[in-house]
Amino acid sequence: MHAVRNIDHCTKDCLCLYVCPTGASDTETGQVDASKCIGCGACANACPSHAIVMVPEEYPTQQEKTVPVANSMKRLADSKTMQECIAAGIAEETDAPITRQLATAVAKSNRIMAEDILREAGYMLPQSKEAGSFLNEILDTKDPAFPKEAVEKLLKLLNHKEESKSGKEVNKMEK
């Protein structure tokens, strides 16, 4: 566990400065210094505005999704994202400001619904094996415009193992 501060909630009571045994909360950026934080939780307990929370290093595994549930959610997300693209098309083509405003709102609404539905299709945690397989699957995308570097960085940062297409794990040191 380590402490993080949500600066939006912070009311500058600065009790974290006083209780932290290592000085991790004493930074210029307002963020807790992760390299000094020992995870004791004293700052989170002392904070009167609940601006500091303890974040686990490792999250428990995601709730398993059954195949029919995951598929139902994906079908819905397919429809919602299609509606997003239709609404975005209306917004792009119309000359009427009010129609554009409404279509933009509809596109945004559908995007938010699709995100939430996909989250519950088995993609809640970026560290989950589902998210890992997804990243591995797109890694070999053949398109010069594809941000491959972003995928490689994500695999590394989120501690996912890189896999070859055959599904075998590739040892990063050997590559």
Partner 1 sequence: MTLPIRRRYFIEQVCMICGFVYDEAKGIPDQGIVAGTTWESLPDDWICPLCGAPKSDFKLQAETNQVVKPITVNGTEEENLTELSNAQMSALCSNLAKGCEKQYLAEEAELFLQLADYYRQKAGVVKEKDFDALLVKMNENLEQEYPEANQNANVKPDRGALRALVWSEKVTRMLNSILVRYEKEKNSMLENTNIYVCEICGFIYIGDNPPEICPVCKVPNKKMTKVERG
Q: Which of 138, 140, 161, 170 binds partner 1 (CB under 8 A)?
A: 138
Contact 44, 6 (CB under 8 A): no
**How far, in Å, CA of 129 to CA of 101, rounded?**
39
DSSP assigned state of 145: T
Question: Based on CB atoms, which residue is closest to partner 1, 75 or 172?
Answer: 75
Residues 69-88 binding partner 1 (CB under 8 A) are: 69-88
Shortest distance in whole angstroms from residue 135 CB to partner 1: 9
92 binds partner 1 (CB under 8 A): yes
Which of 12, 48, 98, 171 is in the footprint of partner 1 by CB under 8 A? Answer: 98
Contact pick of 129, 153, 161, 172 for partner 1 (by CB under 8 A):
153
Angstrom CA distances, 43 to 6, 11, 63, 103, 156, stand at 13, 14, 31, 45, 30
Cβ burial of 149 (10 Å; 0-12, 13-18, 19+) is exposed
Q: Which stretch binds partner 1 (CB under 8 A): 13-21, 41-49, 154-162, 165-173?
A: 154-162
List the one residue from 33, 113, 162, 163 that touches partner 1 (CB under 8 A).
113
Residue 19 near partner 1 by CB under 8 A: no
Q: Which residues on neighbouring strands pair with residue 163, listed in sequence order?
A: 169
Residue 57's contacts (CB-CB under 8 Å, 6 or more residues apart) are: 1, 2
Task: Tell me if 154 contacts partner 1 by CB under 8 A.
Answer: yes
CA atoms of 59 and 127, how far apart (whole Å): 8
Q: Does 167 bind partner 1 (CB under 8 A)?
A: no
- Tell me which stretch binds partner 1 (CB under 8 A): 22-30, 44-52, 102-110, 163-171: 102-110
- Minimum distance, C-beta of residue 16 to partner 1, in the bound complex (Å): 16
